[in-house]
Structure 1
Amino acid sequence: MKPVDNMQAAQGVNAARWAISAIFLLNGAGIGLWAAHVPVVQARAGIDTGVLGFLLLTIAGGAIAAMPLSGWLSGRWGTRPVALGSAWLFALTSALLMNVDGVTALFVAAFAFGASNGVLDVSMNANAAEVEAARGVPTMSSFHGFFSLGGLLGAALGGLVIGAGWGDGRGALAAGVIIALAVALAARFVFRVPPQGAAGHSHFALPRGPALFLGLLGLLCFAVEGALVDWSALLLTERTRAEPASAALGYSAFSVAMAACRFAGDRLVLRFGASRLMVFGGLGMFGGLLLAVLSTNFALSALGFALIGVSAANVVPLIFAAAARMPGMSAGGGLATVATLGYAGLLMAPPLLGSIAAHTNIAVALGLLSLSGLVIAANAGIVKRMG
């Protein structure tokens, strides 16, 4: 697709940019809202932490299972209807997950929530890649910035809702309705591109060649991000003797730094190029994790987490943008193939790190994970070759 020259068409592409940005924001908000409700849902369902772990695994499993379907649907029907349909389904399932009673119903709702999020994740990224191609300038990082911002807003909203006594599901239901209505308002502006099934493979394919390398790089980056969700607070309490309330600030430093740097990412790509930004990202992830695990000072460890956020912020957007440009595949098909392997890092990292930590300690486990940054830096050139 060539950059748009006609003024009217350019205005349409600009409107499409903000429309899909809104969907990224709403998706992040829904996930942030769920994160805030996890303890409330656990208490209401009467499940222990072991069962809760399986519930979270079910959500991730639903997402990974549905991602290949999203690539096929996007190639067959186009990214716009799939992104909109899955966004509405996401609004419904997010409200359902935080309102159901009974363990069986909770697990069914968790799988549906994960599946709708998996389809939405691939299709909205594919649509964003089409908008980026139409604009002719890097844009993907800003889309992921809106997702990160949405996560922060959703978590904050969840805290307010629960504090106001609406944690019984009423707040989540109201948020689901708002998300659905907001998607409806954005729908008319979401970018339309004819289905690409005839021009290239629209389906999921087993990763090989460039797709395999991109997927593995995505897996390593998601493994680092997932590890910080599960283990950053524990690391700070063990290494720096921080109180639990203070230890939570480590992940907050990572999240805020990541959100801020994603909004600057597109300008950084233009100035330094995708390959150099990937090298910086990998080396920064390596250095940040080492600083976090080696330091016994709370401020230095938190600074390490912030450095990881700054460095990792644009790695996944660059990988996804490259996946959408893979020769012989539609944007949705390429993203489904790479994202499915990448998101497996979220499934594999927590139990693997837990096993290593059980035989050593969490600092050693995260220290080994820091080597992922070096692998990402060493293979950064692949994002340029996909251009």
Structure 2
Amino acid sequence: MTTPSLSQARWAISTIFLLNGAGIGLWAAHVPVVQARLGIDTATLSMVLLTIAAGALLAMPLMGGFTARWGTRRMTLVSGVLFTTMLGILMGLNDLALLFVAAFLFGVGNGALDVAMNANASEVETARGIPTMSSFHGFFSLGGLLGAALGGFVIGQGWGDGQGALAAAIATAIALAFAAPRVMYFAPTHGAASHFALPRGAALGLGLLALLCFAVEGALVDWSALLMRERTGAEPASAALAYSAFSIAMAACRFAGDRLILRFGPMRVMVLGGLAMFVGLATAVLSTHFLLSACGFALIGIGAANVVPLLFGAASRIPGMGAGAGVAAVATLGYGGLLMAPPVLGYIAAHSSVMVALGMLSLSGLVIAMSAGIIKRQA
């Protein structure tokens, strides 16, 4: 592999991370539009979102075997095509039954792409010999922000009836087609353990840490604005800035993450990341001042930014496991945390308060910091 080909491979897989994030952002912006178009209530919408999650959770553990058999490049492109195709269909449907089918397939495409592109990215990182995974995840975060902004623009122009969705999906597909020839091929890992199995050993440890980190992210999506309103008395529009502060800080710190890891080492970055998550969430929970709480949420984003990239990178290097199998195990457990955290915290909050629920979750940062040695063992 020559340096130019590795450079092209890096930017190609970065483009796919960007497109994946943009697709998620576009869908998030269209959720209320789709709900209104089909005239469905909140309970039905929740079932649609759960169907997406079910498709992702089904696909993730299976991708370990698929990437080992057919390679990370092929599975990245196949799942990318499925993801972009279902994105346009999902946002433009007018039939409820078809919406559930599209939601499931969209989830399958997203879950499969998540594993395959991370596995390919870890192979590119290994081939380059320098930390790169954080920047890949930075492009995903950037894509989410751009996708949400584009979705808002499309809807604001009156194209929420499906025209904008189709145009956005076509643009995404064109970008995927442009990146596809430059996604690097790596020989499939037939000899490594690649079939689906319950995570254990290093995979289980890494997966549980991913679960905790994703749990924090999932909780902030649903509960950050409510916490800001309860603790600081902020208006709804201002309270929503809490999650924006988290997202922007995370995206920015991910682009700086590779240099930080190269300079300070992965273990130190993970220790400081966990501590920042703990201090940030504790600050957001305890403070009654708007700016201080917003700074707390930004600190959570700074801390969490490089934890998942480090965990995924370590998962791809577990001895005896293929890159795809390791990433699949960790991603499945992590995604489970993303799904379970909001309702579990909601149950706790219903019997106490949002402050207590998120205060308990802040301990996740301490657990991550104290468990950082697992990264060093997989380096």
TM-score (norm 2): 0.99
Q: Identify the residue that residue 377 of structure 1 maps to in structure 2.
A: 369
Displaced runs of 4 or more, over 4 A: none
How far is the alpha carbon of 1:47 from its aligned partner?
1.8
Report the Cα distance in structure 2 between the residues aligned to 1:304 and 1:213, rounded to whole angstroms: 27
Report the Cα distance in structure 2 between the residues aligned to 1:358 and 1:156, rounded to whole angstroms: 33
Report the Cα distance in structure 1 between the residues aligned to 2:265 and 2:47, rounded to whole angstroms: 41
Contact 1:226 1:346 in 2 (8 A): yes
Report the Cα distance in structure 1 between the residues aligned to 2:341 and 2:6, rounded to whole angstroms: 38
Question: Unaligned stretches of 5+ in structure 2?
Answer: none
Report the Cα distance in structure 1 between the residues aligned to 2:284 and 2:100, rounded to whole angstroms: 35
Whether 2:300 is the aligned partner of 1:327: answer: no
Q: Identify the residue that residue 103 of structure 1 maps to in structure 2.
A: 96
Q: Identify the residue that residue 228 of structure 1 maps to in structure 2.
A: 220
Give SS of 1:188's match.
helix
How far is the alpha carbon of 1:80 from its aligned partner?
0.4
Whether 2:361 is the aligned partner of 1:357: answer: no
Deviation sequence 1:44-85 (CA, Å, 0-9, x none): 121222222222222112111100122111100000010011
Q: Identify the residue that residue 119 of structure 2 maps to in structure 1.
A: 126
How far is the alpha carbon of 1:205 from its aligned partner?
2.0
Whether 2:120 is the aligned partner of 1:136: answer: no
Equivalent residue in structure 2 for 1:83, among 76, 79, 82: 76
Q: Identify the residue that residue 261 of structure 1 maps to in structure 2.
A: 253
Percent of residue pairs bearing the same amino acid type: 70
Contact 1:30 1:91 in 2 (8 A): yes
Q: Identify the residue that residue 296 of structure 1 maps to in structure 2.
A: 288
What does residue range 157-236 of structure 1 map to in structure 2 within 5 Å? 157-198=150-191, 200-236=192-228
Q: What letter corresponds to residue 26 of structure 1 in structure 2? A: L
Q: Identify the residue that residue 55 of structure 2 maps to in structure 1.
A: 62
Report the Cα distance in structure 2 between the residues aligned to 1:357 and 1:109, rounded to whole angstroms: 33
Equivalent residue in structure 1 for 2:45, among 32, 42, 52: 52
How far is the alpha carbon of 1:331 from its aligned partner?
0.5
Give SS of 1:245's match.
helix
How far is the alpha carbon of 1:204 from its aligned partner?
2.3
Q: What letter corresponds to residue 95 of structure 1 in structure 2? A: G
Q: Identify the residue that residue 306 of structure 2 maps to in structure 1.
A: 314
How far is the alpha carbon of 1:333 from its aligned partner?
0.8
Report the Cα distance in structure 2 between the residues aligned to 1:372 and 1:47, rounded to whole angstroms: 36
Deviation sequence 1:157-207 (CA, Å, 0-9, x none): 000000000111111111111111111111111011111112x01222211
Q: Identify the residue that residue 341 of structure 1 maps to in structure 2.
A: 333
Q: Identify the residue that residue 24 of structure 2 maps to in structure 1.
A: 31
- Indicate the larger mover: 101-110 or 238-247: 101-110
Report the Cα distance in structure 2 between the residues aligned to 1:362 and 1:307, rounded to whole angstroms: 19
Deviation sequence 1:207-263 (CA, Å, 0-9, x none): 111111100000000000000011111111111111111111100000000000000
Report the Cα distance in structure 2 between the residues aligned to 1:135 and 1:113, rounded to whole angstroms: 32
Q: What letter corresponds to residue 173 of structure 1 in structure 2? A: L
Report the Cα distance in structure 1 between the residues aligned to 2:162 and 2:219, rounded to whole angstroms: 29
Q: Identify the residue that residue 146 of structure 1 maps to in structure 2.
A: 139
Equivalent residue in structure 2 for 1:251, among 230, 235, 243: 243
Q: What letter corresponds to residue 268 of structure 1 in structure 2? A: L
Q: What letter corresponds to residue 92 of structure 2 in structure 1? A: N
Q: What letter corresponds to residue 216 of structure 1 in structure 2? A: L
Aligned CA RMSD, in angstroms, stands at 0.9
Report the Cα distance in structure 1 between the residues aligned to 2:293 and 2:220, rounded to whole angstroms: 12
Whether 2:279 is the aligned partner of 1:287: answer: yes
Report the Cα distance in structure 2 between the residues aligned to 1:338 and 1:245, rounded to whole angstroms: 35
TM-score (norm 1): 0.96
Report the Cα distance in structure 2 between the residues aligned to 1:60 and 1:266, rounded to whole angstroms: 30
